[in-house]
């Protein structure tokens, strides 16, 4: 029977038919194993722990629970899609928070897209090998064509999250000095720190929505009764920007030692303005160095062609004349 199957595969796919057959069989086994892994029965103790956590977190409103109902479709696959290591899970959650994804299901959605993109790109590579590759292609080349797209697809979500995180950090860095100036004006006008945070979030939303979202979240947590120091430290961790961390440190020290918040904000806002000017000067100083490379690549070669080209042409013509005359 094995010889019959082997002959059949060779007749259809050529000399590499058995290799394709083994590859299809492995892919089929993987696809059959995935539902079994996802639908495996959970430990009763794990269900008890989840119920306890849900009971402790039952203070959230009914509207929020209903709004998250549509995003919990992957909850039953959490054991498959989420890291089981708490440290790795916390690190992934922090990266997603810094990228602006605050949903509870963000981690499992991220790993779901990694899985889907990896399998999808692997199937594209397999289809290319089956239908478009030449018959004399070696087995290692086929394996690379199948595996490299799979790896690319697996890392596409990571690249997207990293791009989003850096763009969000740049937006926070650009808008933070203006937000501090507005906060200083509000505090000096007689508003409390909580009221000034709400006003600043409203005023800067058009230009810097990411920073406005962070201030809004801080205001909501303070209204909910959470400790101010903890709320501010959480904001610094979510933002991932050194300027925000320094701002939180200034406010915490001002509250600890009983100094004036307005005075601390005035000094810190002046430092942030100076730092923004220094960043602009740094970019301006780096610009000539970057332009030098472009100048050398796009100006020097045409200039050499113009200056040396006629001489080279004359030399070649003289050599051809001498060789023809000889």
* CB 111, CB 84: distance < 8 Å: no
Q: What is the pLDDT of residue 321?
A: 82
pLDDT of residue 200: 92
Which single residue is written with the structure tokens 């790109």? 121
Range among 138-142, 248-252, 318-322 rated most confident: 248-252
Average pLDDT on 91-100 reads 87
For residue 20, how many other CB atoms are within 10 A of its CB? 17
Task: Choose among 116, 139, 142: nearest CA to 127.
Answer: 142
Q: How confident is the model at residue 18 (pLDDT cuts 50, 70, 90)?
A: low
Q: Which residues contact 176 (CB under 8 A, 6 or more apart)?
A: 211, 241, 243, 244, 247, 272
Residue 305 has a pLDDT of 87
Question: pLDDT tens across 39-72, in order?
Answer: 555 555 555 556 665 554 444 433 334 344 444 5
Say if residues 68 and 103 touch (Cβ distance below 8 Å).
yes
pLDDT at 13: 61
Confidence of residue 37 (pLDDT cuts 50, 70, 90): low
Q: Where are the domains of the chain?
A: 2-39+74-165, 168-278
- Residue of higher predicted confidence among 50 and 130: 130
Report whether 144 contacts 130 (CB < 8 A). no
- The pLDDT of residue 38: 56
When pLDDT is cut at 50, 70 and 90, the band that residue 165 belongs to is: very high
Over 50: is that where the pLDDT of 137 sits?
Answer: yes
* pLDDT for residue 160: 92
Contact assessment for residue 142 and residue 133, using Cβ atoms and an 8 Å cutoff? yes
The model's confidence at residue 81, banded by pLDDT at 50, 70 and 90, is low
Mean pLDDT of 3-22: 67
CB 20 within 8 Å of CB 130: yes
The Cα 211–Cα 168 span in angstroms is 9
pLDDT at residue 320 is higher than 50: yes
- What is the pLDDT, as a whole number, of residue 164? 92
**Structure confidence at residue 155 as a pLDDT band (50, 70, 90):** very high
User: Could you give the percent of the chain with pLDDT greater than 70?
Assistant: 73
pLDDT over 70 (residue 295) = yes
Residue 163 pLDDT > 90: yes
Say what the pLDDT of residue 71 is. 46
Choice among 69-83, 217-231, 306-320 with the minimum mean pLDDT: 69-83
On the question of pLDDT at 25 being above 50, the answer is yes
* Helix locations, the chain, DSSP H: 2-13, 17-38, 44-56, 62-67, 78-81, 86-98, 106-131, 139-188, 193-203, 209-223, 228-239, 242-257, 261-298, 300-325
| pLDDT bucket at 141, cuts 50 / 70 / 90 | confident
Of 7-16, 91-100, 108-117, 204-213, minimum mean pLDDT range = 7-16
pLDDT of amino acid 105: 80
């Amino acid at each position: 029977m094995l010889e019959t199957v082997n002959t059949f595969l060779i007749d259809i796919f050529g000399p590499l038919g058995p290799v394709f057959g083994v590859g299809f069989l492995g892919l089929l086994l993987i696809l059959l194993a995935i539902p079994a892994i996802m639908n495996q029965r959970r430990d009763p103790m794990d269900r008890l722990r989840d119920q306890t956590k849900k009971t402790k977190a039952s203070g959230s409103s009914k509207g929020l629970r209903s709004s998250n109902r549509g995003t919990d479709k992957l909850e039953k696959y959490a054991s498959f899609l989420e890291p089981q290591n708490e440290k790795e899970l916390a690190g992934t959650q922090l990266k997603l928070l810094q990228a602006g994804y605050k949903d509870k299901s963000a981690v499992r959605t991220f790993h779901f897209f990694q899985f889907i993109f990896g399998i999808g790109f692997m199937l594209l590579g397999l289809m290319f090998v089956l239908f478009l590759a030449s018959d004399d292609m070696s087995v290692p080349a086929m394996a690379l064509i199948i595996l490299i797209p799979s790896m690319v697809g697996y890392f596409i979500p990571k690249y997207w999250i990293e791009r989003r995180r850096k763009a969000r950090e740049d937006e926070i860095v650009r808008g933070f000095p203006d937000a501090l100036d507005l906060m200083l004006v509000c505090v000096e006008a007689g508003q409390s720190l909580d009221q000034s945070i709400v006003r600043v979030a409203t005023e800067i939303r058009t230009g810097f929505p990411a920073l406005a979202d962070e201030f809004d979240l801080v205001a909501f947590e303070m209204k909910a009764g959470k400790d101010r120091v903890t709320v501010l430290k959480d904001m610094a961790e979510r933002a991932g920007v050194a300027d925000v961390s320094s701002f939180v440190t200034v406010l915490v020290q001002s509250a600890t030692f009983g100094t004036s918040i307005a005075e601390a904000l005035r000094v810190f806002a002046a430092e942030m303005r100076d730092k923004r000017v220094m960043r602009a000067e740094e970019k301006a100083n780096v610009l000539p160095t970057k332009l030098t490379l472009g100048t050398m690549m796009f100006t020097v070669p045409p200039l050499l062609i113009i200056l040396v080209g006629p001489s080279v042409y004359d030399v070649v013509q003289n050599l051809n004349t001498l060789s023809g005359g000889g």
